[in-house]
Amino acid sequence: MQDLERRIQRLEDIEAIRQLKARYFHACDRKDVETLRQCFAEGEIHIDYGVIGRFNDREAFLSVYKEKACHSHIVDMHHGQNAQIHWLSEQEATAIWDLFFHQIDTETNTITQLAGFYKDRFIKQSGKWVIIDTCFTITSTYITTLSDGIPKALHAGLAPMA
């Protein structure tokens, strides 16, 4: 019976992690800073988002997130998919998620499409799963501008412009 209980716990934990990452993507798109805060562990963590920055605590990340993303002229869409969740124990898991990101900036009249993947590590903290380590790697970027209603490519390739 203990094996069955452990297998059920594993499935429940994997679903909780899946829901956590969905909540993270949704909070990013809705510019919901408090929900984003709750997605990450308290204390020291590791966030490596490449050109956006590297952070050792969630407040440092949230400060940059508010500065760069929390504007009415920025419309973001994070589409996370193809989750590969590896349950390590009742307290720890890792995962890889693919991301398709689409952003409209009405102030600069640019559209950015970005693809990549997250490598995450999760822990159970105070009875709920949170992100303790996350790294995002870009695999493609396409940036266009709309000038007089005509799209013009600004960048196409692996990495975004600095």
> How many C-beta neighbours within 10 Å does residue 100 have?
14
| Domain that includes residue 44, residue range | 2-157
pLDDT digits (tens, 9 = 90+) for 86-123: 999 999 999 999 999 999 999 999 999 999 999 999 99
pLDDT digits (tens, 9 = 90+) for 58-82: 999 999 999 999 999 999 999 999 9
pLDDT digits (tens, 9 = 90+) for 11-32: 999 999 999 999 999 999 999 9
Specify which residues 100 forms β-bridges with. 79, 115
Write down the residue that tokens 């992690």 correspond to. Answer: 17
Residue 27 lies in a domain: yes
Does 149 have pLDDT greater than 90?
no
Task: State the CATH number of the domain containing residue 33.
Answer: 3.10.450.50
Cβ-Cβ contacts under 8 Å for 139 (sequence gap 6 or more): 115, 116, 117, 158
Residue 122 lies in a domain: yes
Residue 162 lies in a domain: no
Residue 128 lies in a domain: yes
User: pLDDT at position 148, please?
Assistant: 80
Q: Are 22 and 80 in contact (CB under 8 A)?
A: yes
Total structural domains within the chain:
1
d(CA 142, CA 158): 9
